[in-house]
Structure 1
Amino acid sequence: MIGDKSNYYKASDDTFLLADCVRNLKGESVLEIAAGPGYVSNILKENFRLVISTDIDYYAIKEGKGKSTLLVCCDSASVITNIMCDLVVINPPYLPSQQIDDVTVDGGKDGIETTLRMLEDAVRLLKTNGVIMFVTSSLANYNGLLLHMRELGFRTNIAGRKKLDFEELFVIEAKR
């Protein structure tokens, strides 16, 4: 568990883009990995009976109280073993970095290493006909992410995108 009362990841452009892409999705159960204080989970609560939110930052999870059915402070979804979800949503740290100095934004050397680890949990907890939605950046090796998902038997498409000054954000939808 990590955390700082004032330093967890706040909702930003990537959060709002992801929220727009999942706003109208419906189902029984959804898992949001790296949920932060629960902005997206709060939106998902409208159309899902069970909303599980995970984050490595205790204070972010604490701030998300009331926005999810179940809050779990853990790395990715490592401690969740007994539920399968219709939808898994991930807003991972995705900026390329030689080392992880800031767990809220540093995604590894290619910007995808943390995302790949979170996707392993997502695939493990996804129902057969489930969907994974995740954020990535043009600064990261997002083609490597797409290739990885295809190797796992998923079809991918860009569900949303937003051009910023220094990067373009993408929400990727992955279906089996």
Structure 2
Amino acid sequence: MKEIKFMGKRIIIFPGVYEPAEDSYLLIDAVMPIASGDVLDLCCGTGIVGLCIANRVKSVTSIDINPIAIKNTCENFKINLVYDKLNAIVGDLFSPLGKVKFDLITMNPPYLWEEEPMDISWTGGKKGREIIDKFIINVGKFLKKEGKALFIQSTINDIEESLNLINKMGLKGKIVMNRKFLFEEIVVIEIAH
């Protein structure tokens, strides 16, 4: 089991769970200044995003389709003494939720292309957009009127397509942060009503 330290937090990484990387840190940078209220952290992995904002918010609901990731998130919240803020659920994006709404929704989805997804922590299906599109189509139903959703996307997944879909869903979308790497640019897209 691997362990890292980030923003004063001790984070353990279970085998089979996405290890926090540049995309995780970029999302945290974008989320920190606006974190408040009730937060939903989708595709939570190790729980690093929710963990970094736990002391600034009322609650963190973390959801991941990978049961090992949910165990990993719970463990990280326990060792960092913020477990009382956490509601961790195994599930596919919004599917375990009823009609609850959130002040802030975050997502760092798997977005690599793969015809046959081999590793759910990395691949987002054909064109890498399956999870992104499902998120955009449904996020408005779970966002409070003044709430915001922030998610990570790479230029390899057609950012313009996401912005157009956000608009088509009657929401407002914009890029609020970006970082360039060798073969791609990673952006944080913000969605609001």
TM-score by length of 1: 0.91
Shift of 1:121: 3.9
**Structure 1 residue matching 2:156: 3-state secondary structure:** coil
Q: Which moved more, 1:31-40 or 1:81-90?
A: 81-90
SS at 1:20 equivalent: helix
Identity of aligned residues (%): 28
| Largest Rg, 1 or 2 | 2
Aligned to 1:47: 56
Q: Does 1:10 align with 2:27?
A: no
**Alpha carbons 2:140, 2:171 under 8 Å: kept:** no
**What's 2:163 paired with?**
146
Q: Quote how far apart the aligned CAs of 1:143 are.
A: 1.3
| Residues 1-176 of structure 1 mapped to structure 2, 5 A cutoff | 5-65=14-74, 66=77, 68-176=85-193
The SS at the match of 1:61 is helix
Per the TM alignment, residue 103 of structure 1 is displaced from its structure 2 partner at its CA by: 1.2
The worse-fitting range, judged by mean Cα deviation, of 84-93 and 112-121 is: 112-121
1:44 counterpart letter in structure 2:
I
The answer to whether the Cα contact below 8 Å between 1:24 and 1:47 also exists between their aligned partners in 2 is: no
Work out whether residues 27 and 48 of structure 1, in 8 Å CA contact, stay in contact via their aligned partners in 2. yes
Deviation, structure 1 residue 35: 0.6
Post-superposition Cα deviations, 1:53-103, rounded to whole Å, max 9, x if no partner, equal 111111111111125521111111211114210111011111222222221
Q: Between 104-113 and 12-21, report the one with greater CA deviation.
A: 104-113
Displacement over 3 Å in runs of 4+: none
User: Which one-letter code corresponds to 1:96 in the other structure?
Assistant: W
CA distance in 1, matches of 2:46, 2:59: 17
Q: 1:122 to 1:53 in 2, by over 3 A?
A: same
Structure 1: distance between partners of 2:136 and 2:65: 15
Cα distance in 2 between the residues matched to 1:54 and 1:77: 8
One-letter amino acid of the counterpart of residue 167, structure 2: R
Using the alignment, how far apart are the partners of 1:168 and 1:27 within structure 2?
Answer: 28
Q: TM-score, normalising length from structure 2?
A: 0.83
Q: Which moved more, 1:137-146 or 1:31-40?
A: 137-146
Following the alignment from structure 1 to structure 2, what is the Cα–Cα distance between the partners of residues 121 and 11? 25
If each structure's helix is expressed as a fraction of its own residues, which one has the higher value? 2
Give the alignment's Cα RMSD to 1 decimal: 1.5
